[in-house]
Chains A and B, each alone.
Chain A
Amino acid sequence: MTTLEHRCGSLAELIIDDRQAARFKVNRHVFAEEDILALERERIFSRCWLYLGHVSEVPAAGSFVARRVGGRPLILTRDRDGALNALYNTCPHRGALVCRERAGNRRAFQCGYHAWAFDETGRFLGMPGREALPPNAGDGGQFDLVRVERMEEFRGFVFVCFDRNAQPLVDYLAGAAEYLAYVADQGENGMEIVEGTQDYSIAANWKLLQENSVDGYHGQPTHVTYFDYLRSRDGTTTNFGGSGPMGWVKNLGNGHAVSESIGLLPWGRPYARWAPGWGEEAKPEVEELNRRIMARLGPERGNVVANGDRNLIIFPNLVVNDIMATTVRTFYPVRPDYMEVSAWSLAPVGESIPSRDRRMRNFVEFLGPAGFASPDDVEMLELCQRGYANRAAAPWNDISRGMLSNAPKKTDELQMRTFWRRWRQLVSGDSSLELAGP
């Protein structure tokens, strides 16, 4: 029994999933305890597929990006044969990072400490004074950079997994694969990550951001000033949280979920739904983009891709929000009460200059650390985290909205329950716990 189980009962009891009473509760210990984070590192971040990057970030032979994934410094490279490589960024000699830049193009990585060198596939190239070691000292790849256990790509999204025995990525993604495909389908010539990263932080537990990313219920109260802005610009009067049609949410399997609607929301989509704030001059191009998507994908799929808005969470820590722009966002807990966040803009390859400009303006009107909305989300998450100091007296979060509904809406909480049911299954190690449910 862990100390934590000693203090709060069994791990499975940290979540109450009472379907008869339509009652779903999450114990606030899960946001605040070091023991929980240690279990998450072992049972979630060491076993689940985690987003590493997008193929467009390594376009040519020798291209690389270096970033931390699940707390581990990695390098993604494209080698001279065009293949992708995911390598641990640590020298086999004494462990120093062999790559200190965030991105670039190189045929070799050389450790600054003793000058050991490696090619873009991680293969050992040489060291000063090789003769001081036995000739067979590097046999079996002992002097190579260590390759990440698993790396797979789906429609341009590159994931890694530190568990050699993990199921294939596409099986892991389950129903989320279809939603990544809707995003990937926007570009006739593929999609690309735009230059510029929003690297920020939130003084709150990482799971709160996953919840927040698909939480339609908070839209109106938290973001009233964003809707004021849209109204001032476009004259739109859409009441985001009102009684109107609010789209739907779906359990996509394995803890993934989506909150979705088609054509209901008040902002413009660069690919492709026009909004008044872009001006009449933008209308012909946006309508033409919409027509082209319809022609290429057919009216049914085209309508979903071009006119739909989707907030997608992929367990444990990837968010792809395809809304007023498309953001790819991932985050990792450094401490129970602190996460590091990285967010990028995904866009169609070959997008016109005016369309790309609309996208970049649209992205930051809502999203990111200086947008009109994300800072208020951050504030709410940080206030929640502060409140959890009272968890001994006030131990439960309520996530029961819509449990009685056969058609849960964005303002319900099925999408969060989907995450939590998977979280509970993995952290408790009890695979008999149900992932499906209201």
Chain B
Amino acid sequence: MTNPLARSEAEDFLFKEAALLDAWRLEEWANLFTADGEYLIPATDAPDGAPGTSLYLVYDDRHRLGERAKRLLKKTAHAEQPRSRTRHMSSNVMVAEAEGAVMPVFCNFVVFRSRMEKTDIYPGHAEYRLVRGSDGLLIRSKKAILDIDVLRPQGKVSIIL
């Protein structure tokens, strides 16, 4: 059985997402999500916990992730004013067997963030659930799991991973 999503197509999509984030085209990033899309980051000490029963760092429904994008673009989003310079790297991409219309994609990531004379590194792996929209791939859910023990020295995740 052929998978409906080739790895190269998934990679192109992830690279496009990374480029939007690094260019601070955040509202376009939010538009990569379906109307019921979710963006999630679990706590560093409970990476396998479920979002409704475990304390997450990010538990965004579609409205909130859109507002997250809008917020970060405002001058009054103090944690990102001036903005961080970021570089999102995605690798080790694997496309799993489709579950109906939903195509799971797994990858490793590293995000570099630099601001106010300090550079932070966010290593992790991500689980995407992609679907096909009329205009290309869309994200039903993105879960970014940080592979760090505690959020130190990074301190915060005020950027989008």
Asked if A375 meets B156 with Cβ closer than 8 Å, knowing A195-B53, A222-B78, A364-B57, the reply is: yes
Q: Which one, A195, A201, A203, A360, contacts B151 given CB within 8 A? A: A201
CA A232 to CA B49, docked complex, whole Å: 29
Say yes or no: is A7 at the interface (Cβ < 8 Å to chain B): no
Bound-state Cα–Cα, A196 to B47, Å:
8
A233 touches B63 (CB 8 A): yes
Asked if B79 contacts A197 (CB within 8 A), the reply is: no
Report the bound CA distance from A375 to B154 in whole Å: 12
The distance from the CB of A68 to the nearest CB of chain B, in whole angstroms, is: 11
**For the complex, is B44 an interface residue (Cβ under 8 Å from A)?**
yes
Q: Please name all residues of chain B whose beta carbon is closer than 8 Å to the beta carbon of A357 when the two chains form the complex.
A: 52-53
Q: How far is the CB of A329 from chain B (nearest CB, A)?
A: 12
How far is the CB of A151 from the nearest CB of chain B, in Å?
23
B151 lies within 8 A of A232 (CB): no
Give the docked Cα–Cα distance between A356 and B54 (Å): 9
Contact A229 B64, beta carbon cutoff 8 Å: yes
Stretch at the interface among A83-91, A205-213, A376-384, A401-409: A376-384
Interface contact B77-A376, CB-CB below 8 Å = yes
* Stretch touching chain A among B16-24, B67-75, B96-104, B105-113: B67-75
Asked whether B41 is an interface residue with its Cβ less than 8 Å from the other chain, the reply is yes
Residues of B near A361 (CB, < 8 A) are 59, 61
Q: Provide the bound-state CA to CA distance between A344 and B42, in Å.
A: 13
Q: Is A345 an interface residue (CB 8 A)?
A: yes
Please tell me the size bucket of the interface on B: 35 or more
CA distance A374 to B78 in the complex (A): 10
The answer, yes or no, to whether B43 is at the interface (CB within 8 Å) is yes
A376 contacts which of B43, B52, B59, B79 (Cβ < 8 Å)?
A: B79
Q: Are A200 and B155 within 8 A (Cβ)?
A: yes
Instruction: Check B156–A370 contact: CB distance below 8 A.
Output: yes
| B151 lies within 8 A of A194 (CB) | no
> Which residues of the other chain, B, contact A199 by a CB distance below 8 angstroms?
44-45, 150-152
Residue A119 at the B interface, CB < 8 A?
A: no
Interface of B is mostly: loop
Interface size (A, Cβ < 8 Å)? 39
* A376 and B78 within 8 A (CB): yes
A202 on the interface (CB 8 Å rule)? Answer: yes
Most buried by A among B56, B78, B152: B78
State A375–B157 Cα separation when bound (angstroms): 8
A379 to B51, CA, bound (A): 26
Cβ distance A192 to chain B, nearest Cβ, rounded Å: 11
In the complex, whether A372 has a CB less than 8 A from a CB of chain B is yes
Residue A368 CB within 8 A of the other chain? yes
Judge whether B64 and A360 touch: CB under 8 Å: no
- Contact A198 to B67, CB < 8 A, known contacts A225-B77, A370-B41, A374-B156: no
The reply to whether the CB of B94 lies closer than 8 angstroms to some CB of chain A is no
Do A203 and B43 have beta carbons less than 8 Å apart?
Answer: no
- Residue on A nearest B63 in the bound complex, by CB: A233
Question: Complex Cα distance A195/B45, Å?
Answer: 9
Residues in chain A near residue B51, CB distance under 8 A? 360
Interface residues of B in 142-156 (CB under 8 A from A): 150-156
B54 touches A194 (CB 8 A): yes
Cα A188 to Cα B44 in complex, Å, equals 30
B37 → A minimal CB distance (Å):
15
Query: Nearest Cβ distance between residue B56 and chain A, in whole angstroms?
Result: 6
Which residue of the partner chain B has the closest CB to A362? B59
Tell me the smallest distance from the CB of A269 to a CB of chain B, in Å.
Answer: 17
| B76 part of interface (Cβ distance < 8 Å) | yes
Shortest CB–CB separation between residue A210 and chain B, in angstroms? 18
Pair A229/B53 contact, Cβ less than 8 Å: no
B156 and A200 within 8 A (CB): yes
Distance of A196 Cα from B41 Cα, bound (Å): 11
In the bound complex, do residue A200 and residue B55 qualify as a contact, i.e. CB atoms below 8 Å apart? Answer: no
A295 surroundings in chain B (CB, below 8 A): none
Q: A233 touches which one: B44, B67, B68, B153 (CB < 8 A)?
A: B67
Inter-subunit contact A200/B63 (CB<8 Å): no
Write the chain A residue with the least CB distance to B153: A201
A196 touches B46 (CB 8 A): yes
User: B158 within 8 Å of A by Cβ?
Assistant: yes
**B residues apposed to A, CB below 8 Å:** 41-46, 49, 51-59, 61, 63-64, 67-68, 71, 74, 76-79, 150-158
Across the A-B interface, the 7 shortest Cβ-Cβ residue pairs = A196-B55, A196-B43, A375-B79, A199-B150, A357-B52, A369-B156, A370-B157
6 chain-A/chain-B pairs, Cβ below 8 angstroms: A201-B154, A222-B78, A364-B56, A370-B156, A370-B157, A378-B155
